[in-house]
Amino acid sequence: MQDTPFEVYGTVLASRLLIGTAQYSSPAVLAEAVKASGADVVTVSLRREAGKSRAGESFWNLVRDLGVKVLPNTAGCRSVAEAVTTAEMAREVFATDWIKLEVIGDDDLLQPDVFGLVEAAAVLSRAGFKVFPYTTEDLLVAEKLVGAGCEVLMPWGAPIGSGRGLNNVFGLQALRKHFPSVPLIVDAGIGTPAHAAAAMELGYDAVLLNTAIAKAGDPVMMARAFAHAIEAGRLGYCADPIPPREMAEPSTPQIGRAFSDLSKRA
């Protein structure tokens, strides 16, 4: 299978790894991790801009200096109105119509409120936003999000920050098969490079993660590891891997195999 460019909303991205910018121990570590990851896109929460205190100004300058595309998010929003208002503010602050849409419905698992998500996606799409919805792997919800104007879907692998990897491989596979031409990005729950490679081997277009890099013992090294894992997983998928089998299949041909009949030597 020949690889195709990774394109979202008419923009071709060189990297299939998108990373968050929260929880890093220092701005310097964040900058080095982003560079090591090779990411073209970083997610940014509007809450960092801290209004009157301008506490987020130095952070924003740092992100701009990295030369990456910013994907603002509505992290922490728990209603349609809150998410829409945050998105509108983010468009003004960051001068982009891209928005990672989160409408959280559960405090323990930070699971998306899919009903509010679809409603907010429709409102924002009509207002000219290019919506990246953080959703579950539910096919019906995905259909409604696409119908609401979303040209990309971002199903979770597992709860945010859990590091559990891909909790529902069957569901993610079904989503991929159901939407063969829609860009799909696994978002949340990735803990190790192996998890990211597994997502790419399912045919997903990209992976978005934050905690697994930011909270690693060596974030820069981990960012580099994820970059390699994403590349390996994508190459593996495009190379058309062998299907799993119930029984063994010898890799050495049986015909023409050398043997000796020791019984004739007696």
Task: List the domain boundaries for the chain.
Answer: 6-239
256/70: higher pLDDT: 70
Name the CATH code of domain 6-239 (choices 3.30.420.40, 3.30.70.270, 3.20.20.70, 3.30.1330.60): 3.20.20.70
Contact 116, 144 (CB under 8 A): no
Which of the four pLDDT bands, split at 50, 70 and 90, describes residue 260?
low
67/206: higher pLDDT: 206
Catalytic residue among 35, 69, 100, 264: 100
Contact 124, 86 (CB under 8 A): no
Which of the four pLDDT bands, split at 50, 70 and 90, describes residue 30?
very high
| Mean pLDDT of the residues in the chain | 90
**Residue 100 falls in the annotated catalytic set:** yes
What residue type is 57 in one-letter code? E
Where is the binding site for 1-deoxy-D-xylulose 5-phosphate, in residues?
Answer: 161, 188-189, 210-211
Which of the four pLDDT bands, split at 50, 70 and 90, describes residue 261?
low
Sequence-ordered list of residues with C-beta below 8 angstroms from that of 212, at least 6 positions apart, any chain: 163, 190, 191, 192, 195, 222, 226
Which of the four pLDDT bands, split at 50, 70 and 90, describes residue 259?
low
d(CA 40, CA 38): 7
Contact 167, 189 (CB under 8 A): yes
Judged on CB neighbours under 10 Å (0-12, 13-18, 19+), 12 is exposed
Where is the binding site, in residues?
Answer: 161, 188-189, 210-211
Angle at 203 between CA 131 and CA 151, to 5 degrees: 20
